[in-house]
């Protein structure tokens, strides 16, 4: 299939949607909750301030839809940080090139050691994460890591700099099952303000990246924004529109959505998202009601109490026992983290909580001994 045009976003559209975000009233929210197939107007209503009083009904509806599709289960994964090298300057990130911190990139042997430590925790689904450094942590390095880990790991996911179609095709053949890409924000002015140097400053190239992943034949695509950079209601609405844009061209793709909130990090220890737990619950429920096929993923950035609620209701996947620095599990547990985490419980503790709530933890969805056929 030919690559389709970039998802169309401009400042005028973002500003227009932001102005409309507070317009829906109670009747619009009630209509959205009863809609058999909610449209964008319904999603806008569910994201609006008027929907806040309907949060219990939204949670009940979203939970029902989640369990209709995937039952009382939750898939667990862990991130494996390969490198904190980065050539970008991003105002909110602890890996930014100007942040004074020790930099490192794991050797292939160290990556194997880290993967083994994650698997010893029981987790068979690993997200490979790198800072965006094309020369030292580019495609060749990612291919070598993937080819080495693939025989031992049930499922490999990737979060790295946006790549070309041919690069993603190579990674798919090597064993990458899913790719995570964060747009960060759909507000062009905010995007420019927060990304001041490096390849990430090119917003159009990043907007085009999900389509390149799809065109390369990757089976699963993860998308998201960083809540706190712009108006969260507008960012989430445009994320949903971007999702529908992709589904129109690549219906066979499975989609995951992760919506992390801005957190303190090296160089920016006082920054916060301004998105409350109630806001966060509302936007996640709104997305699930709008698109029940979405797999909502929850990170360890959030508090144990909030995660317990989300993991036993609307979430489909969640990280557990996360370390956000290269070598954090076994090799070199130094203070090189990308951001702070709130839920430091082990995977075993998370699994025990899930079982007490009647939720079955899923440690892996495929066994490496069964092999994998690249398509």
The pLDDT tens digits for 278-292 are: 999 999 999 999 999
Structural contact between residues 117 and 152, judged by C-beta atoms closer than 8 angstroms: no
In a domain, 219, yes or no: yes
**Which residue, 101, 76, 100, 99, is CA-closest to 88?**
99
Which pLDDT score is estimated for 1? 42
Note the pTM of the prediction, 2 decimals: 0.92
Residue 143 in contact with residue 94, Cβ under 8 Å? no
Tokens of 296: 């909502």
The whole-angstrom separation of Cα 176 and Cα 155 is 8
Residue 372 falls within a domain, yes or no? no
Tell me the chain's radius of gyration from C-alpha atoms. Answer: 20
Q: Give the pLDDT confidence score for residue 281 in this predicted structure.
A: 98
**Residues of the chain under the 70 pLDDT cut:** 1-5, 100, 265-273, 333-340, 367-375
Answer for the pair 48, 274: CB distance below 8 angstroms, yes or no: no
Domain count, the chain: 1
Residue 26 in domain: yes
Residue 133: per-residue pLDDT: 79
Report the pLDDT value the prediction gives residue 33, as an integer from 0 to 100.
97
Coil/strand/helix, residue 362: strand
CB 126 within 8 A of CB 80: yes
**pLDDT at position 117:** 96
Domain that holds residue 159: 11-367
Instruction: Count Cα neighbours of 349 within 13 Å in the Cβ-side half-sphere.
Output: 10
**Residue 122 domain-assigned?**
yes
Is the residue at 374 inside a domain?
Answer: no
Structural domain includes residue 320: yes
**In this structure, what CATH number is given to the domain that contains residue 42?**
3.20.20.70
Across the strands, what pairs with 125?
155
Give residue 88's pLDDT: 87
Q: Residues 108, 126, 219, 289: what is their CA dihedral angle, to the nearest 10 degrees?
A: -150
| Residue 279 in domain | yes
The predicted pLDDT at position 371 comes to: 65
Looking at residue 2, what is its pLDDT? 45
The single-letter DSSP state of residue 227 is: B
Instruction: Let me know if residue 255 belongs to a domain.
Output: yes
């Amino acid at each position: 299939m030919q690559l389709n045009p970039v998802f169309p976003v401009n400042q005028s559209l973002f500003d227009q949607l932001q102005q409309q975000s507070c317009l829906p009233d109670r009747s619009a929210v009630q209509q959205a909750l009863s809609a058999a197939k909610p449209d964008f107007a319904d999603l806008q209503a569910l994201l609006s301030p008027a929907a806040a009083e309907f949060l219990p009904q939204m949670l009940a509806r979203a939970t029902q839809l989640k369990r209709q599709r995937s039952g009382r289960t939750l898939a667990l994964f862990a991130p494996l940080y390969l490198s904190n090298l980065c050539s970008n300057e991003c105002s909110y990130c602890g890996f930014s090139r100007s942040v004074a911190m020790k930099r490192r990139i794991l050797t292939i042997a160290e990556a194997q050691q880290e993967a083994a430590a994650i698997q010893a925790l029981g987790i068979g689904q690993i997200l490979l994460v790198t800072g965006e450094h094309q020369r030292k942590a580019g495609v060749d390095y990612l291919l070598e890591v993937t080819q080495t880990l693939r025989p031992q790991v049930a499922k490999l996911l990737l979060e790295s700099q946006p790549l070309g179609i041919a690069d993603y095709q190579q990674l798919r053949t090597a064993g990458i099952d899913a790719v995570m890409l964060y747009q960060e924000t759909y507000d062009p002015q905010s995007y420019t303000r927060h990304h001041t140097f490096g390849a990430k400053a090119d917003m159009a190239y990043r907007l085009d990246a999900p389509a390149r992943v799809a065109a390369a034949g990757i089976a699963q695509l993860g998308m998201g924004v960083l809540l706190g950079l712009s108006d969260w209601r507008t960012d989430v609405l445009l994320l949903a529109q971007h999702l529908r844009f992709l589904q129109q061209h690549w219906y066979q793709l499975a989609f995951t959505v992760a919506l992390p909130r801005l957190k303190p990090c090296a160089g920016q220890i006082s920054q916060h998202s301004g998105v409350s737990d109630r806001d966060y619950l509302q936007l996640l429920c709104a997305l699930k009601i709008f698109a029940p096929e979405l797999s909502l993923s929850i990170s360890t950035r959030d508090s144990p109490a909030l995660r317990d609620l989300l993991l036993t209701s609307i979430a489909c996947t969640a990280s557990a026992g996360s370390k956000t620095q290269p070598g954090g599990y076994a090799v070199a547990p130094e203070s090189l983290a990308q951001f702070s985490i709130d839920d430091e419980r082990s995977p075993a503790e998370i699994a025990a909580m899930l079982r007490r709530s009647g939720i079955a933890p899923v440690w892996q969805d495929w066994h490496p001994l069964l092999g994998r056929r690249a398509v």
